[in-house]
Amino acid sequence: MSSVAPPGARFHHGSAVVPAGAVHTTPLGYDRGSVPLGAPLPLTASAEFVHLLSGCGEVVVAFEGKLGDTLLALSGVRAVLDWLRLRSVRTSVRAVGPYAGLITRTGLIAHHPVATPHGRRAVIGDRAGIEAHGSEAVVSLVLDPAAPPCWSSDGRAHPDLPARHYLALERRLGIRLPGTAPFAPTLATGPNDLVEELRSVGWLGGLTIAAITATSWPERKDYTAQRYIALAEQIAEAQQAQARLLLIGGAPEGGFRVSAEAPRRHVQVLHLDGVPAEQLADLFPHCDLIVGNDTGLTHLAAMTRTAEGPVIGLYARHSHSKWRTGLPHHHAIATDLSDRMHQGDLCPVRDAISPDVDVHMDAFPPAELARVCLDLLNGVRP
C-alpha cells in the first residue's frame, strides 16, 4: 500500500508486502512456505560449491567496497552461516577489512565460536574483498548487488537486496534455510564518547532529527543542508517543539569535524562531518527520525534502529525497493522514475536508462516531505 506524497512522488511503507504480480520477478522455483526447515529443495544444489564449502575449516568475511553494498549483502553471509550450522560443519569465522567492526555487531560471527583454523578457507565478500583476501581460498563467494534477481515465492515478491542475496544462496546450497523476511541483520549498539558528549550538552534531548547529506554522488543524491533545515523547521513548528537537527556529512579535508550553527526559531543545527560509521551506529538509535538519501549511512541507520524509530530514504532514480534493508521501519519516498525501476527490476546505470527529465532531489519539497514525517512520528501510516 502506498499513497501520493508529495506530488510526483510516492510513499512506500517499510512493512508493505509487494505482490508477485505487481513487479517483474524471477520465480524462486519452490513454494518456500511449504518446505520444512532443513529439508532439501526441489532444485539441484550447486554440487561443487557445496562440496568445497563443506570441507572448509575457516570462513573469512571480507568487504572492501561501498558501505551500503556491504550492509545489504550481509544477509548472504547469514545464509552461508545458517547452512553451516544446519549441516553441523564446524568452522572458525572472522571478519576482516574496514567493516569488520560493524560486521561483528550483527552477531552473525558470534554464533560460530572462533577456534583454531584448520583445513581449507572460504572467503565471502565483494570483489575487492575477494581480491584482497581470497588468494589462498579454495572457494570464494562474491556477493554482487547486480547479480541476484527479484525473487517471487508464495505469491509475494522479495525485492530488497538482503532478501535477494539470502534466497539466491538458499537455492545454491539446496536446503531450506531458517531465515524469514526481513532477512537483513540488525546491529548491536551501545554508548560511545560522541554520544555521551552530545547528550551532556543537550543535543540528544527533545525532538532529535538526523539527516544524511553524505553521498558519493552529490549532484544526484544530496538533498542539501538547506532543504533538511527547512524540513526540520516544518516538523518542529507542527509539533510545537524545538528540534535538534544533526546533519551527517561526509569526511571533510582534515577529517572529523563538528560545528553548530546559530540557533533558529524552531531548530538548532549541528553539523557532524566525517564521523566514523561505527560511532554513527551508536548515535542513530538516539534520534526520533532519520531522513537520508539512498546511501550506506541511511541503510546503517535502519539496521541500528527499532520499529519505533522511522527511517526514510529518498529515491530519485534507483529502485526504492531493491536499495532498502527490507526492515519494517525503513520507508521510502520515491519519484515516478524510481517506481518504474522498482516495477521492472531495472537500474538506470546498469541498463543505461535516461529519464525524460533530469530527476534530482528537488522532487521532494520539504513542506510535503514534512507531512509524511509527521504522520510517522505520530504513529499514523501515511
First to last CA, the chain: 10
Give residue 4's pLDDT band: very low, low, confident or very high (50, 70, 90).
very low
pLDDT, tens only, 296-317 = 999 999 999 876 789 999 999 8
Q: Does 71 reside within a domain?
A: yes
Among 133, 148, 173, the domain boundary falls at 173
- 235 and 372 share a domain? yes
The verdict on 221 and 136 lying in the same domain is no
Examine residue 51 and state whether it is found in any structural domain, yes or no.
Answer: yes
- Output the pLDDT for position 205: 87
The Cα–Cα gap between 180 and 359 comes to 35
The answer as to whether 182 is a domain residue is no
Same domain, 9 and 54: no
Which of the listed residues 126, 147, 173 is the one where a domain comes to its end? 173
Mean pLDDT of 287-296: 95
Q: How many CB atoms lie within 10 A of CB 63?
A: 30
Residue 21 falls within a domain, yes or no? no
The pLDDT tens digits for 58-83 are 999 999 999 999 999 999 999 999 99
C-alpha–C-alpha distance, residues 344 and 171, integer Å: 23
- Total domains, the chain: 2
Residue 148 belongs to some domain of the structure: yes
What average pLDDT does range 224-248 have in this prediction? 96
Residue 350: Cβ within 10 Å count? 10
pLDDT averaged over every residue in the chain: 92
0.75 exceeded by pTM: yes
Q: 125 and 196 share a domain?
A: no
Whether 142 and 62 map to the same domain: the answer is yes
Share of the chain above pLDDT 90, in %: 80
Residue 331 and residue 289 in one domain:
yes
Write out pLDDT tens, residues 196-229: 999 999 999 899 999 999 876 666 678 999 999 9
pLDDT digits (tens, 9 = 90+) for 137-196: 999 999 999 999 999 999 999 999 999 999 999 999 999 999 999 999 999 999 999 999
Tell me the pLDDT tens digit for each residue of 360-369.
Answer: 788 899 999 9
Report whether pLDDT(134) > 50: yes
Q: Are 145 and 69 in contact (CB under 8 A)?
A: yes
Whether residue 80 is contained in a domain is answered as yes
In a domain, 11, yes or no: yes
Neighbouring CB atoms inside 10 A of 155's CB total: 11
| Residue 90: per-residue pLDDT | 87
| Residue from 223, 222, 242, 220 nearest 232 by CA | 242
Domain that holds residue 284: 2-15+189-377
* Residues 156 and 45 placed together within one structural domain of the fold: yes
Q: Is 25 inside a domain boundary?
A: no
**Are residues 193 and 92 part of one domain?**
no
Residue 381 — very low, low, confident or very high, per pLDDT cuts 50/70/90?
confident
C-alpha cell at 12: 512506500
The last residue of a domain, from among 173, 206, 223: 173
Predicted local confidence at residue 5, as pLDDT:
42
**Which has the closest alpha carbon to 212: 236, 248, 250?**
248
Q: Which residue has the cell 542475496?
A: 165
